[in-house]
Amino acid sequence: MRRLLKNILLILLLLAISGVAWVGYQFTHPPTLDAYAKLSFQEGSTKDAEVRATFFGVSTLLFEDGKNSILIDGFFTRPDKLSVLTRKISPNLDVIGQSLKRANIQHIDAVIAAHSHYDHAMDSPEVARRTDAILYGSMSTANIGRGWGLPEQQIHVVHHGESVKVGAFDVVFLNAEHAPTGFTGGEIEGPLKPPVRANQYKEGQCFSILISHKGKTILVQSSAGFVKSGLSGRHADVAFLGIGTLGKQTDQYREEYWHETVKATGVKRVIPIHWDDFTRPSNAPFAPMPRPFDDFEKSMAFLLNQGEKEHVEVKFLYPWIEIDPFK
Ligand SMILES: [Zn+2]
């Protein structure tokens, strides 16, 4: 009896050790991006672009037309795993400053937080402050702005169906759902003053954002969730499609997500976003989120297969590269 117990304990110990070793291996060996180079945009093609777009990881995206600019989220701090799990976090002013400089961003008209999780909205008020932008988002996002001391006249709470004009850009906010990750829901009820734990950046309202410019429309879907028929009757040409944790969902979920976003809006080009491991600094090479948190390759295989079936082009966009999203 004793011997049996000893053997069981030994097996459990071996299983625990190999589990830890497996997770450690996955962290240090995330999926590579090599296979997607052929899907990437050609550099230097933005000269005649009506709209230029740059991706900075997660769903941080800059859209400019030469006169006005819109930045979704503006998340650059990207605290490491240990900080996120064990410490309080706050915007890193040096990293934000360096990032804005590297991206050659001086003024922005609108900083739009797609939802209020830290990997979207934590840096938004500081970016808005430095660039004299108006911060747009949910009440929770507004409370992140207030906690940071952003003046009230630079904070604008938006609601479902609201449209905002930014020069020639027309931005429409529609309620969306977050991907089912286990970290969803909740509101930030009052001014949130960092440093705070990452989980205090509650989701708030998650938005699908439609950005129209001279007859062409971009859908930004920050998280791989959807509201049934939430986008029906809306049109978009290009979707920046959040795929964070999409690889961990069921086949049926992935199909529904495609149906409710890409198919519902008639999008002809899909550009995945929110695929990167956002606990890596943005000045280091980007890598997909490692297993067991996600399955990037499964998401990409799904998009490519679906795209081929339905004649939707899937492009891969590396961070820090300016592109013409419509070309
Ligand atoms: Zn989120």
- Give the bridge partners for 175, in sequence order: 207
pLDDT of residue 26: 73
**Each residue's pLDDT tens digit, 199-255:** 999 999 999 999 999 999 999 999 999 999 999 999 999 999 999 999 999 999 999
Ligand 1 center to 173 CA (angstroms): 17
pLDDT band at 1 (very low <50, low <70, confident <90, very high): confident
Domain ranges within the chain, ordered by starting residue: 51-317
The neighbour count for residue 252, using CB atoms within 10 Å, is 8
**Each residue's pLDDT tens digit, 123-182:** 999 999 999 999 999 999 999 999 999 999 999 999 999 999 999 999 999 999 999 987
Q: Report the distance separating Cα 264 and Cα 261, nearest Å.
A: 5
**Each residue's pLDDT tens digit, 245-281:** 999 999 999 999 999 999 999 999 999 999 999 999 9
What are the C-alpha distances in Å from 44 to residues 65, 109, 324? 16, 25, 9
Ligand 1 center to 264 CA (angstroms): 22
3-state secondary structure 62-129: EEECCCCEEEECCCCCCCCHHHHHHCEECCCHHHHHHHHHHCCCCCCCEEECCCCCHHHHCCHHHHHH
pLDDT of residue 25: 73
Ligand 1 center to 58 CA (angstroms): 9
Contact 257, 308 (CB under 8 A): no
Unique residue bearing structure tokens 């071996």: 14
Per-residue pLDDT at 23 exceeds 90? no
What percentage of the chain reaches a pLDDT higher than 90? Answer: 82
pLDDT of residue 115: 97
Ligand 1 center to 48 CA (angstroms): 34
Ligand 1 center to 117 CA (angstroms): 5
Kindly report the pTM of this predicted structure. Answer: 0.93
Angle at 244 between CA 56 and CA 27, to 5 degrees: 85
What are the C-alpha distances in Å from 232 to residues 45, 164, 252, 261, 272? 32, 20, 19, 9, 21
Question: Buried (b) or exposed (e) across 117-155, using 16+ Cβ within 10 A?
Answer: bbbbbbbbbbbbbbbebbbbbbebbbbbbbbbebeeeeb
Ligand 1 center to 181 CA (angstroms): 8
Q: Nearest to residue 68, comparing CAs of 100, 101, 111, 130? A: 111
Ligand 1 center to 119 CA (angstroms): 7
Q: Report the distance separating Cα 324 and Cα 225, nearest Å.
A: 26
CATH T-level topology, domain 51-317: Metallo-beta-lactamase; Chain A (3.60.15)
Ligand 1 center to 223 CA (angstroms): 6
